Structure 1
Amino acid sequence: MSAQPLRMNGACHCGAVRFEVELSDGLSTARRCNCSICRMRGAVAVSAAHGGVRVLSGEEALGTYSFNTGTAKHHFCTRCGIYTHHQRRSTPGHFGVNLACLEGMSPFDLEEVPVLDGINHPSDNDGKARLAGVLRFIPAD
């Protein structure tokens, strides 16, 4: 996976929300998480700095969900329900962006995706991030 900066366009499923993202470390930050919301959402996220996500259209269609400490802000399209990005709890100066929303990308393009231990979140664990496992995609013949 590329660790070079990468600028990409993205959208939700219905196209109501369109955005541009600059991934300062390219796709090298691709990850899943096992916390309660990520476990249910099932998305692969990549990281962008706070100013690295720019909504181009459909800001009025974005909804926000927050829970527990209220630090993380999870944004989704209120029309189709697709999660587009979120302000991260562990690094509030960064966003996690749904890889599947990025033009030309699919989580199935990645052979392996690290799964971070969000159940034992670094903010609750002396700042220590822990790997919970690895998710692999092996295409059938």
Structure 2
Amino acid sequence: MLYKGSCHCGKVAFEVKGEIGGAVRCNCSICARKGALLWAVPHGSLRLVAWGDDLGKYTFGKGSIAHRFCRTCGIHPFAEDVGESGERTAYININCLEDVDLAVVEVFGFDGRAA
């Protein structure tokens, strides 16, 4: 299925292909604060539609995940791993997707604080 998503103001917009089998609620210091529900997909399944200079990047700790955000409205629509090895992954914040019934998505906990 093709999903469309964006930040709040729409300056960062994207499409992502796949089936949402569940989402992760990570308890690391940034994910816990922003309240994201993350759906992991192969990076090639994510296609940016609009971003310009509005797409910011924040990394911390080991710097292996780039947390992407809109510089205008501050919403975090996705993150992506930036590691050199292996296949890249995008982590879609399903709260930013259109037409997704969050009540039916199974949510799994992830102990990012211990990772």
User: Do both proteins adopt the same fold according to a TM-score greater than 0.5, normalized to the shorter chain?
Assistant: yes
**How do residues 114-129 of structure 1 correspond to structure 2 at under 5 angstroms?**
114-121=108-115
CA RMSD of aligned residues (A): 2.0
Matched residue count: 113
Gaps of 5+ in 2: none
Counterpart in the other structure of 2:13:
18
1:15-66 CA-partner distances (Å, limit 9, x unpaired): 111111123xx11141111111111111111112111111111232100000
Q: Distance in 2 between matches of 1:83 and 1:41?
A: 8
Counterpart in the other structure of 1:70:
63
> How far off its partner does 1:88 sit?
3.7
**How do residues 1-141 of structure 1 correspond to structure 2 at under 5 angstroms?**
6-23=1-18, 26-88=19-81, 93-105=88-100, 107=102, 109-110=103-104, 112-121=106-115
> How far off its partner does 1:106 sit?
5.2
Structure of larger gyration radius: 1
8 A contact 1:29–1:47 mirrored in 2: no
In the superposition, the TM-score normalised over structure 2's length comes to 0.87
Between the aligned residues of both structures, percent identity stands at: 36
> How far off its partner does 1:118 sit?
0.9
Gaps of 5+ in 1: 1-5, 122-141
8 A contact 2:21–2:106 mirrored in 1: no
Q: Which has the higher contact order (CA 8 A, sep 6+)?
A: 2
In the superposition, the TM-score normalised over structure 1's length comes to 0.72
Judging changes above 3 Å, is the alpha-carbon distance between structure 1 residues 106 and 77 closer, same or farther for their aligned structure 2 residues?
A: farther
8 A contact 1:72–1:92 mirrored in 2: no
> How far off its partner does 1:111 sit?
6.1
Q: Distance in 1 between matches of 2:96 and 2:33?
A: 17
